[in-house]
């Protein structure tokens, strides 16, 4: 059964600077269902990071609202929002945001420590997800000893280890070369299939659009749905490869 995970309703964010008022997001509506694989494509400064910060409750809207599992985020306390984010949302960043003094295993384990899970449960979950992202042999390395693609695999494992309902990724391929970036997108698609966890990816990278199961564009804070022929393209490319 598909369910609504996140709903943005008339979401608006304005920033006041000394000189002017910037409308970073303008009445954005979006409903994310279980198992969705959504890509939002838009140029630098179009409002992508602002949108993710509001969706995850890291920042509060100027108008409109975000519902996570039917709960309106801005009516919760900071602590309640933090708790909800830790349990329901996985975050992936352009610059990975790994903790340099922790090993790969410890980085992935960290959110489970915050959740106060018992050590044996933590070890099981970390080992399983590291195997899924192909890093089982790297568990004892430190981030500085990894390639960019490997670092982002750690980021993906850390986002999924808490078994969230949705993973939000902000320019996940922005620090990677194009072929590594495509591998990362394919891994995310595979994990979306395996775990039925929703993915919402924002990127300025046009090359990532072909991986969308649902594609939207954002320009100057305005979000628009694009027609998505991905499924047809998949079948055509398989057909022509025969």
The answer to whether 48 contacts ligand ADP (rule: CB under 6 A) is yes
Q: Which helix (H) or strand (E) holds 152?
A: helix 148-160
Residue from 42, 61, 64, 143 in contact with ligand ADP (CB under 6 A): 42
* Partner interacting with residue 179 (select from Mg ion, ligand ADP, none; CB below 5-8 Å by kind): none
The answer to whether 45 contacts ligand ADP (rule: CB under 6 A) is yes
The answer to whether 172 contacts ligand ADP (rule: CB under 6 A) is no
Structure tokens at 194: 């395996």
E runs forming strands in the chain: 4-16, 21-33, 37-41, 63-68, 71-72, 89-92, 166-170, 198-203, 214-219, 222-225
| Residue whose CB is less far from ligand ADP, 84 or 222 | 222
The answer to whether 107 contacts Mg ion (rule: CB under 5 A) is no
| Residue whose CB is less far from ligand ADP, 26 or 103 | 26
Look at residues 121, 116, 201 and name the one whose alpha carbon lies nearest to residue 155.
201
Q: Which stretch binds Mg ion (CB under 5 A): 42-50, 70-78, 104-112, 221-229?
A: 42-50
Q: Which stretch binds ligand ADP (CB under 6 A): 43-51, 161-169, 175-183, 227-235?
A: 43-51
Question: What's the Cα-to-Cα distance from 116 to each of 120, 121, 163, rounded to whole Å?
Answer: 12, 10, 15
Contacts of 35 (CB under 8 A, 6+ apart): 2, 192, 196, 197, 198
The answer to whether 224 contacts ligand ADP (rule: CB under 6 A) is no
Q: Kindly list the residues in this chain that would bind ligand ADP in the complex (CB under 6 A).
A: 15, 17, 22, 24, 42, 44-50
Q: Kindly list the residues in this chain that would bind Mg ion in the complex (CB under 5 A).
A: 48-49
């Amino acid at each position: 059964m598909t369910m609504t995970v996140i709903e943005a309703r008339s979401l608006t964010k304005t920033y006041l600077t000394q000189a002017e008022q910037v409308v970073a997001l303008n009445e954005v509506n979006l409903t994310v269902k279980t198992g969705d694989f959504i890509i939002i494509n838009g140029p630098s400064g179009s409002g992508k990071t602002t949108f993710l910060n509001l969706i995850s409750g890291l920042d509060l809207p100027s108008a409109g609202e975000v519902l996570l599992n039917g709960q309106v985020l801005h009516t919760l306390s900071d602590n309640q929002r933090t708790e909800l984010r830790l349990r329901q949302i996985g975050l992936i960043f352009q610059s990975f945001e790994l903790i340099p003094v922790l090993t790969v295993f410890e980085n992935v384990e960290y959110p489970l420590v915050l959740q106060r899970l018992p050590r044996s449960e933590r070890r099981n979950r970390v080992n399983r997800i590291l195997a899924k992202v192909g890093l089982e042999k790297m568990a004892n390395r430190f981030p500085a000893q990894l390639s960019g693609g490997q670092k982002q695999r750690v980021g993906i494992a850390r986002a999924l280890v808490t078994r969230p309902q949705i993973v939000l990724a902000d320019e996940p391929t922005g620090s990677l070369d194009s072929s590594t970036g495509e591998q990362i997108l394919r891994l995310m698609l595979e994990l979306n299939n395996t775990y039925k966890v929703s993915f919402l990816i924002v990127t300025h990278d046009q090359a990532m659009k072909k991986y969308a199961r649902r594609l939207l564009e954002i320009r100057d804070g305005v979000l628009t749905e694009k027609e998505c022929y991905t499924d047809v393209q998949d079948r055509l490319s398989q057909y022509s490869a025969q």
